[in-house]
Structure 1
Amino acid sequence: MLQPVLPLASLPDFNNDVAGLIHGYLFTPASLPQRLNAREAAQLSQQQLPESTFIWLHINLNHARAERWVQDHFGVDHDFFDEIHSASPRTRLAQQNDALLAVLNDVTFSKEERSTQNATLWMWCCPRVVVTARFRPVGMIERMHQQMNELKFAEPDAMLLWLLGEQEAQLEQVVRRSSQAVDAIEERLLSAAIKTNRRELGQLRRMLLRVQRLLAPEPAALFRLLNRPPKWLKREPLGELRIFTEEFSVALNDLASLMERIRLLQEEIAARLMEQSNRTLFLLTVITVLALPINIVAGFFGMNVGGIPLANNPHGFLLLVLVVLAFTLVAGWLAFRRPRD
């Protein structure tokens, strides 16, 4: 039986703001989740919690004493905070001593700006305590908090699986919206807005590469976890983790196909731009060839020397125009004639 939470002395560590505690809950099988403040959570950490009962703490890492408070009262590994300070936001799920370490990312996709904003969530999960930590607000945590009474997590791994499902749904949403944007660009490909299409495709490709780096789980760590899970992790969560692995693989394959499609569209646009450049260069070459006879004749007759022909002929100008026109027609015929096969 859990002992009733007794009032403790007003110490700085037991203040929610000082401890950096955003959300704190006690999950028990027979009742709804019970909200905890920092004082109550610290007292429960000193008690032996019954089976299927655990504490969830969501902390703000921007508070200076949040790490020390969690380590002192809940026995969180130092490796967990080393992982946070390693500046590696890529999604990861691995075993850390006798606990589970999860690095998740919450991605917000902006269809208008063709960009994403992400917030990283670090999660430390053991049979009696679950700690989630963040620097920036994480949307999936707020959605989970709003549905807390309906979700009724029976085990800590159920919370982890729910968050993984949210991340997988975000990945599918990014792929679906990006595919719609690529469809629109592909329809405009025949229009005159090639440069705009090229810029948007480049932004989409860079954004998808970033999403793939953030949301795709590290396969090596995930396979190690599936092959050598912690002893307290039951068979059913392992089966669901394998299902999530397959779903992530399908979403990542769709993402890879979409990136390949974008690459082909970029190559098509580059080929069209090259063709336009070649046509412009050909037109400039033809104009230069057509202007060559008149430049040569004007150069010869513009010399300030004696003996210039037709100088005293009243029809000299007309004769020169006819000569230049004849040479221009010949040069035009040579430039525009079709080569024989």
Structure 2
Amino acid sequence: MKLIVASRSGWIENLTVLCRWQSTLCNRVALPFGDTLLTARLTMTHRQPLTIQKPDFTDDVAGLIYGYCFHSGAEPRPLTAQQACQAWQQQQGEGFIWLHVNLSHAASARWLKNNFAVDEDFFDEIQHGSHSTRIERQNDALMAVLNDVIFDARENSEQNATLWIWCRAGLVVSARFKPVRLIERLNDKLDELVLHSSTELLTHLLVEQETVLEQIVRQANQVVDQIEERLLSHHIKSNRSELGRLRRMLLRFQRLLAPEPAALFRLINRPPGWLDRQVVQDLRQFTEEFTVVLNDLIGLTERIRLLQEEIASRQMEQSNRTLFTLTVITVLALPINIIAGFFGMNVGGVPLANNPHGFILLVLLVTLFTCIAAWLTLRRRDKL
């Protein structure tokens, strides 16, 4: 009996070694031995790392960055891509859904068109339309284009991001290629806002656009004030180049951030039927406030132009003064050069050659001609 147990134990050990040699990951080998079970846990020498999958993989496929469902009297509820589709199908006219997508994902446009019936014209506008700020009516929906820029007076700010918004009753879709700070700020303070409709969210983004332009005008005013204080210093050349760069930057921001008035007035005069009157009134107020900011920007640009002209006139005056000084020096040196040229001709008959006081007389003669030339030059300058 002991021999049988020993042989069975050796067989178990050999089988365990064989299983380890096969390198089966986390495999449990259960071997019967009497009334007990011998479990051999075998582990591979090289383990493969486990990939953690997102709870909702469709967010990456659809390009959804943020998704929220808004209801009156409740906090915004985050949505995944699948939850957003279900919420849109079950929506009964109360509240609205906001979707923020990344257009760098190729399937984002198809996902929006198939599940939320977003107009094809909206995506055509993204691909082929202008990037200037505007809000207009697109069929029975609203389409807005907003821009986010970075203002830095010390260097050329060429970084800007465009945000496209499609809005209708119960749904707001915002799309971008590059990150937009307007959306990030909105997402940070979303719990503090009280939004009852999709148009209120759109109006809030328009106000944020106006705030961006106000900050740019305020910062540019500070830079212009500093340049104006340094205008009397010896850094006129650097001031002029800085003003030129600042003026070009402001003109570019004005082109990007200023809304097109024609499209906005058409929307205010002929709004869609589902648009609330209060929203139309808010758009009118936004237009007036934005006009004030644009006037400030235009006034600042005109102020920069006047400073450039002042600096240019001072540089011209300094150049004229330098040129006049060189002219005076040339005129004063002319008699000396002429007389030295005449007396330097190695020919006979040179006057005062045999006079013992010839040098003194020649110096007095040159001084006399120089004083006469200087008097005539200064007299002419006083007349001018």
The residue aligned with 1:200 is 242
Q: Distance in 1 between matches of 2:156 and 2:231?
A: 18
> Does the 8 Å contact 1:18/1:66 carry over to 2?
yes
The TM-score normalised by the length of structure 2 is: 0.81
Task: Give the deviation of 1:106 after TM superposition.
Answer: 1.7
Task: Report if the CA contact (8 A) 1:54-1:128 is conserved.
Answer: yes
Tell me what 1:290 maps to.
332
| SS of structure 2 residue aligned to 1:55 | strand
* Higher alpha-carbon Rg: 2
Q: Give the structure-1-normalised TM-score.
A: 0.91
Q: Which residue of 2 aligns with 1:268?
A: 310
Percent of aligned pairs with the same residue?
64
Equivalent position of 2:272 in the other structure: 230
Alignment of 1:298-309 (within 5 A): 298-309=340-351
CA gap 1:340/1:58 in 2 versus in 1, 3 angstroms: closer
**Partner SS state of residue 159, structure 2:** strand
What amino acid is the match of 1:300?
F
5 Å-filtered alignment, 1:10-159, equals 15-45=58-88, 47-86=89-128, 88-113=130-155, 115=157, 117-159=159-201
Structure 1 residue 163, shift from structure 2 partner: 0.5
Contact 1:14/1:42 (<8 A) preserved: no
Counterpart residue identity of residue 176, structure 1: R
Cα deviation, residue 125, structure 1: 0.4
Q: Unpaired runs of 5+ in structure 2? A: 1-52
The answer on whether the counterparts of 1:310 and 1:316 sit within 8 Å (CA) in structure 2 is yes
Match of 1:313 in 2: 355
**1:160 maps onto 2:211 in alignment:** no
Q: Structure 1 CA distance, aligned partners of 2:345 and 2:81?
A: 99
Larger displacement relative to structure 2 (187-196 or 278-287)? 187-196
Contact 1:26 1:55 (C-alpha < 8 Å) held by counterparts? yes
Counterpart amino acid of 1:118? N
Q: Distance in 2 between matches of 1:208 and 1:134?
A: 24
Moved more, 306-315 or 279-288: 306-315
State the alpha-carbon separation in 2 of the partners of residues 200 and 80 from structure 1: 40
Describe the superposition over 1:298-333 as per-residue Cα deviations: whole angstroms up to 9, x where unpaired.
111222333222233333332222211111111111
Amino acid corresponding to residue 298 of structure 1 in structure 2: A
Cα distance in structure 2, aligned partners of 1:302 and 1:235: 98
Find the residue that maps to 2:61 and give its secondary structure.
helix
Aligned counterpart, 1:240: 282
Task: Check 1:340–1:35 CA distance in 2 against 1; reply closer, same or farther (3 A cut).
Answer: closer
Which amino acid in the other structure matches residue 161 of structure 1? T
Higher relative contact order (CA 8 A, sep 6+): 1
Distance of 1:61 and 1:189 partners within structure 2: 47
> Structure 1: how far apart are the matches of 2:347 and 2:310?
57
- The secondary structure found in structure 2 opposite 1:52 is coil
For residue 102 of structure 1, give the secondary structure of its aligned residue in structure 2: strand
Give how far 1:113 is off.
Answer: 3.5
Q: Mark the CA change 1:39 to 1:14 in structure 2 (over 3 Å): closer, same or farther.
A: farther
Contact persistence 2:132–2:256 (CA under 8 A): yes
Query: Is the contact made by 1:14 and 1:39 (CA closer than 8 Å) also made in structure 2?
Result: no
Match of 1:3 in 2: none
How far off its partner does 1:118 sit? 2.3
Please list the CA deviations of residues 49-68 of structure 1 after superposition, one character each: whole Å capped at 9, or x if unmatched: 12232221111111222212
Is the CA contact (8 Å cut-off) linking 1:23 and 1:57 kept in structure 2?
yes
What is the alpha-carbon distance in structure 2 between the residues aligned to residue 111 and residue 52 of structure 1? 46
Cα distance in 2 between the residues matched to 1:239 and 1:123: 20
Q: How many residues align?
A: 329
Q: Which residue of 1 aligns with 2:376?
A: 334
CA–CA distance in structure 1, aligned partners of residues 238 and 173 of structure 2 = 46
Whole-angstrom distance in 2 between the partners of 1:252 and 1:125: 26
Structure 1: runs of 5 or more not aligned? 1-9
Counterpart Cα distance in 1 of 2:126 and 2:354: 95
Distance in 2 between residues matched to 1:275 and 1:107, nearest whole Å: 39
Distance 1:90 1:325, change over 3 A: same
Mean alpha-carbon deviation: is it higher for 316-325 or for 136-145?
316-325
Give the C-alpha shift of residue 30 in structure 1.
4.2
Instruction: Choose 190-199 or 34-43, whichever is displaced more.
Output: 34-43
Q: Residue 191 in 1 paired to residue 244 in 2?
A: no
In structure 2, what is the Cα distance between the partners aligned to 1:264 and 1:152? 45
